Amino acid sequence: MEIIHTSVLLQECLLYLAPEKPSSLFIDGTLGEGGHTHAFLSRFPDLKAIGIDADNEIQQRARERLQEFGNRIEFYHGWSDEFFASYSTEKQKPDRILIDLGISLFHYEKSGRGFSFRSDEPLDMRLESDSGESAADIVNSYKEDELANLIFLFGEERYSRRIARSICQMRNSAPFSTARALADCIYSSVPSDYRHGRIHPATRTFQALRIAVNSELSRLPRLLSLAMNALALDGRLGVITFHSLEDRIVKNYFRDLSKSCICPPEMPICKCGGKPRAELLTKKAVSPTEEEVRNNSPSRSARLRVVKKIVVGDHIKW
Which one-letter amino acid corresponds to residue 124?
D
In this structure, the strands spanning 236-241 and 96-100 are parallel
Contact 134, 213 (CB under 8 A): yes
What domains, with CATH codes, occur in the chain? 10-60+70-107+217-276+294-301 (3.40.50.150), 129-213 (1.10.150.170)
Q: What is the mean pLDDT of residues 70-99?
A: 94
Contact 94, 25 (CB under 8 A): yes
Question: CA Rg, the chain, in Å?
Answer: 21
Contact 15, 40 (CB under 8 A): no
Report d(CA 67, CA 24) in Å as an integer: 19
In a 13 Å sphere around the CA of 304, the CA atoms on its Cβ side amount to 25
Q: What is the pLDDT of residues 295-311, one digit of tens each?
A: 998 899 999 999 999 98
The confidence score (pLDDT) of residue 273 equals: 65
Q: What is the pLDDT of residues 97-156, one digit of tens each?
A: 999 999 888 888 888 999 998 889 999 999 987 778 999 999 999 999 999 999 999 999
Report d(CA 66, CA 122) in Å as an integer: 30
Q: What is the pTM of this model?
A: 0.91
Give the count of beta carbons closer than 10 Å to the beta carbon of residue 69: 18
Q: What is the pLDDT of residues 190-226, one digit of tens each?
A: 999 999 888 899 999 999 999 999 999 999 999 999 9
Q: Which among 253, 230, 243, 245 is positioned nearest to 306, based on CA atoms?
A: 253
Report d(CA 302, CA 120) in Å as an integer: 27
